[in-house]
Amino acid sequence: MPTLRSATANSPPAATPSPAAASTPRSVKRRLTPGRAGETPGASRHTSPHRSPHAGAGTVCSPKLLSASPKSSRKRLYGDLVAAEKPKWNPRDPAQMRAVKEALHVATVPSCELVCRDHEQRRVFEFCKGCVEQEKAGSLYICGCPGTGKTLSVNKVKESLMSWADEMGMETPDSLAINCTNLSNTSEIFSKILGQFQNRKKGSNKLSPLQQLQSMFSNKESAPRRMMLVIVDEMDYLITRDRAVLHDLFMLTTFPYSRCILIGIANAIDLADRFLPKLESLNCKPLVVTFRAYSKDQISDIIKHRLKVLEYDVFEPLALEFCARKVAAATGDMRKALGVCRSAVEVLEAGLQDSDQELGIVTFDHMDIALSKAFKSAVVDSILCLPQHQQMVLCALANTFQHCKKKATTLGELNKSYIGICRSTQVPAVGMLEFSNMCMVLSDQGFMKLGQSKEDKLRRVTLQIDISDIGFAFKGNRFFQKCLEQPRC
Ligand SMILES: Nc1ncnc2c1ncn2[C@@H]1O[C@H](COP(=O)(O)OP(=O)(O)OP(=O)(O)O)[C@@H](O)[C@H]1O
Ligand SMILES: [Mg+2]
């Protein structure tokens, strides 16, 4: 019997854009999420393998081949045993630049197998396969943080399931995908499901859509013949105070003639704990599959895999690793990782205007800038809005704590550090009274904490923000970079 892998391998699934691929914030997502319930997403954007103009140039017919270099004659002699040298990426070539950005776009779905979600896909596939084989309804609950590949994996499993059923000569189940962010109210989910079972024919019925479904699945005569795979994405939106909609939804799979294979997808990890006990008591506890946040290695593997459609290297290995490490440490969100990589490509692109370099690669420094932008916090914004002298006081604090590994200093010591910065940058320093007032303002705003002392100069000073936020805020600003170069212990 074909496994998930063989099902995928035998019939390469048509690539489908993720319905929820646009962005993480829910409000934005609601606007951007394409495709209404039950719609079939369009074809993949990975249609043309973008080839470098250098690729294959003059290989077969070119006279160059006759006077080949030792390297290319080695290649002719040993054929595939010698790894072909990759052509270099030319970021000035608009077609190549477009191809790179497309490969990194969240809406671009890899047309081949998904990496790093093998185990989860297999569990979902086996569950669906079991339901189809036994013609038995069932429910599955998928949870995991944003950007962990839940929607993408379920879409791939759906394709695999259809190919498998086809291969086995079984009746392929109908399918319905509902993104709950598109529902105008929570109970609309039942009219969507009912509409699909009735092939969108609307009968005049006094019963509510939920009651109609319940009655349909209770009688052998009225029960639909075909199984129906119902994928309910963004299920968090169905959480009502009494969770009645969620319970009714999962209960639909317990009716004697139910034909629903229900897959609920949600972000809330604790939703399972909150509503599973009740479902268990109602005898409809779903199978739970958790999608863990991507690790550094997984993020790195996924990006490399997505870039395989290109013939050239786009990132320095160190740059990719830096991105993967940062994103994994923060959220493990693949959407974020792809966004950062695209942004790093744009940083390189912007730099092209100032140079006449033909070839390029995204370096660690490009990635550093992209990561700084992506993880820029509200604190960084607040730092950037401060008056210059208060910003210089923060630099003095950063120098004290960064270079001297201290945890606290005094107002007097901080003043000396500040004066040192003023001297090196040739900015006239303010007097001690004004300096002390500035520190009080910074303390009121939560940047630092000022202790009590009879003498102002002896007041204890501690930093209340992350020291790296100060570095982030002033990255690329030559004046403040100089301020931050003044060690003072
Ligand atoms: N294993 C993977 N291989 C390739 N790309 C991936 C993988 N996982 C995630 N992605 C990329 O990340 C995007 C987000 O994935 P997906 O929409 O499946 O996340 P999700 O877990 O459903 O997030 P949310 O909870 O916010 O809906 C995908 O559109 C895809 O571009
Ligand atoms: Mg999703």
Residue 327 Cβ inside 6 Å of ligand 1? The answer reads no
* Domain stops at, among 331, 359, 375: 375
* Domain stops at, among 227, 258, 291: 291
**Residue indicated by tokens 């409809």:** 284
Total tally of structural domains belonging to the chain: 4
Nearest to 475, CA basis, from 387, 395, 378:
395
Whether residue 33 is contained in a domain is answered as: no
Residue whose CA is at the smallest distance from ligand 1 atom 26: 146
Mutate to test the pocket of ligand 1, among 116, 178, 309, 334 (most ligand atoms within 8 A of CB): 334
Looking at the structure, do residues 131 and 216 belong to the same domain, yes or no?
yes
Residue whose CA is at the smallest distance from ligand 1 atom 18: 149
Question: Which residues contact residue 107 at a Cβ distance below 8 angstroms, ignoring those fewer than 6 apart?
Answer: 17, 18, 21, 22, 45
Starting from the CA of residue 268, give the closest ligand.
1
d(CA 451, CA 443): 10
Helix, strand, coil proportions of the chain in percent (round to 5)? 50, 10, 40
Report helix, strand or coil for 142: strand
Which segments within 390-430 are labelled E, that is strand?
A: 409-410
Looking at the structure, do residues 265 and 300 belong to the same domain, yes or no?
no
**Residue 269: domain span:** 114-291
Residue 149 Cβ inside 6 Å of ligand 1? The answer reads yes
Whether residue 11 is contained in a domain is answered as: no
Residue pLDDT, tens place only, 175-202: 999 999 999 999 999 999 999 988 645 5
Starting from the CA of residue 116, give the closest ligand.
1
* Domain stops at, among 375, 394, 425: 375
d(CA 214, CA 217): 5
Q: How remote is the C-alpha of 177 from its chain's centroid?
A: 21
Residue whose CA is at the smallest distance from ligand 1 atom 24: 146
CB atoms within 10 A of CB 63: 7
Starting from the CA of residue 342, give the closest ligand.
1
Whether residue 8 is contained in a domain is answered as: no
Looking at the structure, do residues 334 and 418 belong to the same domain, yes or no?
no
**Ligand 1 centroid from CA 328, angstroms:** 14
Looking at the structure, do residues 338 and 225 belong to the same domain, yes or no?
no
Nearest to 395, CA basis, from 287, 480, 272, 331:
480
**Ligand 1 centroid from CA 315, angstroms:** 21
Ordered per-residue pLDDT tens for the chain, 489 residues: 333 433 333 333 333 333 333 333 333 333 333 333 333 333 333 333 333 333 333 222 333 333 334 444 444 444 444 456 778 999 999 999 999 999 999 999 887 788 999 999 999 999 999 999 999 999 999 999 899 999 999 999 999 999 999 999 999 999 999 999 999 999 999 999 999 988 645 556 789 999 999 999 999 988 898 999 999 999 988 887 778 899 999 999 999 999 999 999 998 766 667 777 888 888 888 999 999 999 999 999 999 999 999 999 999 999 999 999 999 988 899 999 999 999 999 999 988 877 777 678 999 999 999 998 888 777 888 899 999 999 999 999 999 887 666 788 999 999 999 999 999 999 999 999 999 999 999 999 899 999 998 899 999 999 998 888 898 888 878 899 899 987 655
Looking at the structure, do residues 208 and 142 belong to the same domain, yes or no?
yes
Ligand 2 (single-atom ion) residues, CB below 5 Å: 20, 150-151
Looking at the structure, do residues 228 and 180 belong to the same domain, yes or no?
yes
**Ligand 1 centroid from CA 336, angstroms:** 10
Cβ–Cβ < 8 Å for 293, 328 = yes
Whether residue 9 is contained in a domain is answered as: no
Cβ–Cβ < 8 Å for 474, 408 = no
Whether residue 35 is contained in a domain is answered as: no
Residue 157 Cβ inside 6 Å of ligand 1? The answer reads no
**Ligand 2 centroid from CA 320, angstroms:** 24
CATH of the domain at 401: 1.10.10.10
Question: Which tokens hold the place of 261?
Answer: 């294979």
Residue 137 DSSP symbol: -
CATH of the domain at 344: 1.10.8
CATH of the domain at 202: 3.40.50.300
Residue 21 Cβ inside 6 Å of ligand 1? The answer reads yes
Looking at the structure, do residues 135 and 252 belong to the same domain, yes or no?
yes
Question: Which tokens hold the place of 379?
Answer: 């604190």
Nearest to 227, CA basis, from 168, 162, 183:
162
Starting from the CA of residue 147, give the closest ligand.
1
Starting from the CA of residue 143, give the closest ligand.
1
d(CA 358, CA 19): 37
Question: Which tokens hold the place of 67?
Answer: 């006077």
Cβ–Cβ < 8 Å for 13, 163 = yes
Report helix, strand or coil for 473: helix
Question: Which tokens hold the place of 285?
Answer: 């506890």
**Residue indicated by tokens 């690539």:** 15
Residue 115 Cβ inside 6 Å of ligand 1? The answer reads yes
Residue 20 Cβ inside 6 Å of ligand 1? The answer reads yes
Looking at the structure, do residues 74 and 92 belong to the same domain, yes or no?
no
Residue pLDDT, tens place only, 405-463: 678 899 999 999 999 999 999 999 999 999 999 999 999 989 999 999 889 999 999 99
Whether residue 1 is contained in a domain is answered as: no
Looking at the structure, do residues 135 and 147 belong to the same domain, yes or no?
yes
15, 130, 314, 342, 376 from 110: Cα distances, Å: 7, 27, 18, 16, 29
Which ligand 1 atom is the nearest neighbour of the CA of 266? 25
Helix (H) or strand (E) holding 461: strand 460-463
Q: What is the DSSP string of 67-127?
A: T--HHHHHHHHHGGGSPPPPPPP-TTSHHHHHHHHHHT-TTPPPSSPPSS-HHHHHHHHHH
Looking at the structure, do residues 392 and 456 belong to the same domain, yes or no?
yes
Residue 486 Cβ inside 6 Å of ligand 1? The answer reads no
Alpha-carbon torsion angle 298, 299, 305, 307, nearest 10: -170
Q: What is the pLDDT of residue 38?
A: 37
Whether residue 441 is contained in a domain is answered as: yes
Looking at the structure, do residues 322 and 235 belong to the same domain, yes or no?
no
Whether residue 454 is contained in a domain is answered as: yes
Residue 33 Cβ inside 6 Å of ligand 1? The answer reads no
Looking at the structure, do residues 199 and 136 belong to the same domain, yes or no?
yes
Report helix, strand or coil for 266: strand
